[in-house]
Structure 1
Amino acid sequence: MTDTPAKPVLLTGASGALGRVLVRSLGALGWPLVLTDIAPFPDPIPPGAAFTRADLSDGVTMLRLAEGCGAIVHLGGVSVERPFEEVIGPNIRGLYHIYEAARRERARVVFASSNHAVGFHERCESLPADTQFLPDGYYGLSKAYGELIGRMYWFKHGVESVNLRIGSAIGEPVNARMLASWLSYPDFSRLVERCVLTPKVGHAVIWGASNNARMTWWRDDARAALGWTPIDSADPFAGQLAGAVSGDPVEERYMGGAYCSIEYSRTQPASIWGHSDV
């Protein structure tokens, strides 16, 4: 097993928090990286990497950047809940450009999906990877679309993809919800390494959370096939964060947390069958 991919890896969203984590970790491994973002890259660029400032809406540039690449790690786009018109360009049309580039190059896509694609599932549930999409906003809706376009490109064109349903990927957990959903930066980096280096992945889904004792929401994904086991854990933070809750019943009921409460206008909560609880 090699630690370096045979072909360069295109990394979109390189200037964001997770992109910079990957540039540091993969650059330290000597990976050949093609970096792009709509924002300037704020850190030193590692040896063997090159950065191009570009917009995901520029399909011609995305095709050019992907030339010769064996994988596209797609972190680019709107990364938080925003109005529909702000999401549709980078997260819908931009993703189409990424998959068209992958189709032309026969490259694998590692797609940064999100727990917000299933955010309106309740925290008492235990979800397999093939669960029903229940997005909690326009951002989550775009991630559900992203997984579906990857599925279509796999069945129609044979483009491999791994969908990473990222929980809460930050330096440290900051509330009780993240005792379940936290994904450490090192675990995230190791996951992306396996997504790129595993010889065959087909169309796969991985729940992006570390080895947290409270992570009972998500199960039965493709991690074994990739050889990924999370090492870090939110458990050491349990004592200080167990009581760190919002007091918002909608936020605390659903897996998507605060995203579920944004512009929430129901008078009664909904079950997964669409009926109000009474």
Structure 2
Amino acid sequence: MMSKPFKRLLITGAAGRLGRVLRAEMQACAEVLRLTDIADMGNAAPHEELVRCDLANIADVLPLAEGVDAIIHAGGVPLENTFDLILKGNIVGTYNVYEAARQHGVKRVIYTSSNHAIGFYDRTETIDASVPHRPDSLYGVSKCFAEDLGRYYWDKFGIESVNIRIGSSFEEPLDRRMLATWLSFADFARIVERALHAPRVGHMIVYGMSDNRETLWDNHLASSLGYVPKDSADEYREKVMANTPRLDPNEPAARYHGGNFAGAGHFEDAQ
């Protein structure tokens, strides 16, 4: 039997929507998957180690990186929320993951960032990964922090990062915006696999999107990763156009890259 390229991978957020995709797809990459989440993850398969953990608690996070070859960090608060929850889950939690990597000599972190780090760019603009951050939410602010934290850990400690700015990763595109932003589950697994296997990545930002005819993002700055998407939202175009209304293009939810995140008010304001 051919040996797997990694002995042990750590995946945070393993009970989440994308964490479950990683749990299924990354088993081909490693002899052991160490999986962690604050939520229940069910029963462990023979190749799995399950550790229930709050990422905001550094004493619990530090041991997770022991004996790990690389970390796929998909944990944290997955949507807009109160600043307190975003702070603990996404900002403190991500710091703890990077610090665990540093203390245990883990040299690569794959981070599930988000298009909401640049959500206030106008849809008339096709942007690459070199543009300044323009977060559309506190959630987006936390993704900006994590990207910059990864750069700090690369510059000072030599820990490589691939920051995947995920567009909209669902089983299929759910609305008209997703015709430009959709990332299939299979393409998500492909881009993570390439991020793990590329020989050198430094600190890289790549947009997580499938091969959609419409696009808001230009991935040329991450071409060395070798990611080639195989799916396309265009297969669902007719269905999406028939089932979802056309928004006023001047409304913030339609005008900006971040969609509804850009159009929403401050989360903590009275509804």
Identical positions, percent = 43
Asked whether the equivalents of residues 9 and 30 of structure 2 are also in contact (C-alpha less than 8 Å), the reply is no
Partner of residue 237, structure 2: 238
Partner of residue 125, structure 1: 125
1:51 equivalent to 2:53? Answer: no
> What are the Cα deviations for residues 120-140 of structure 1, in whole angstroms up to 9, with x where unaligned?
001110101111111000000
Partner of residue 262, structure 2: 260
Asked whether the equivalents of residues 180 and 212 of structure 2 are also in contact (C-alpha less than 8 Å), the reply is yes
Partner of residue 247, structure 2: 247
Computed over aligned residues only, the root mean square deviation of the Cα atoms, in angstroms, reads 1.8
Partner of residue 225, structure 2: 226
Partner of residue 36, structure 1: 36
**Aligned-pair distance for 1:255?**
0.7
Asked whether the equivalents of residues 206 and 222 of structure 1 are also in contact (C-alpha less than 8 Å), the reply is yes
Matches within 5 A, 1:1-278: 4-28=4-28, 31-42=31-42, 44-107=43-106, 108-215=108-215, 217-242=216-241, 244-245=244-245, 247=247, 249-263=251-265
State how far apart, in whole Å, the 1-side matches of 2:252 and 2:223 are. 34
TM-score (norm 1): 0.89
State how far apart, in whole Å, the 1-side matches of 2:73 and 2:3 are. 20
Comparing 190-199 with 67-76, greater Cα deviation is found at: 190-199
Asked whether the equivalents of residues 120 and 136 of structure 1 are also in contact (C-alpha less than 8 Å), the reply is yes
Partner of residue 276, structure 1: none
State how far apart, in whole Å, the 1-side matches of 2:64 and 2:30 are. 19
State how far apart, in whole Å, the 1-side matches of 2:202 and 2:36 are. 25
Asked whether the equivalents of residues 160 and 202 of structure 2 are also in contact (C-alpha less than 8 Å), the reply is yes
Unaligned runs of 5+ in 2: none
State how far apart, in whole Å, the 2-side matches of 1:26 and 1:182 are. 21
SS in 2 for 1:8: strand
TM-score (norm 2): 0.91
SS in 1 for 2:36: strand
Asked whether the equivalents of residues 8 and 30 of structure 2 are also in contact (C-alpha less than 8 Å), the reply is no
SS in 1 for 2:21: helix
Partner of residue 273, structure 1: none
**Aligned-pair distance for 1:264?**
6.2
> What are the Cα deviations for residues 9-56 of structure 1, in whole angstroms up to 9, with x where unaligned?
1100000010011111112555421100000004x5333111010100
Asked whether the equivalents of residues 247 and 254 of structure 2 are also in contact (C-alpha less than 8 Å), the reply is yes
SS in 2 for 1:87: helix
Unaligned runs of 5+ in 1: 266-278
> What are the Cα deviations for residues 213-270 of structure 1, in whole angstroms up to 9, with x where unaligned?
011x1114444212210000000111122362463611000010001122169xxxxx
Asked whether the equivalents of residues 23 and 46 of structure 1 are also in contact (C-alpha less than 8 Å), the reply is no
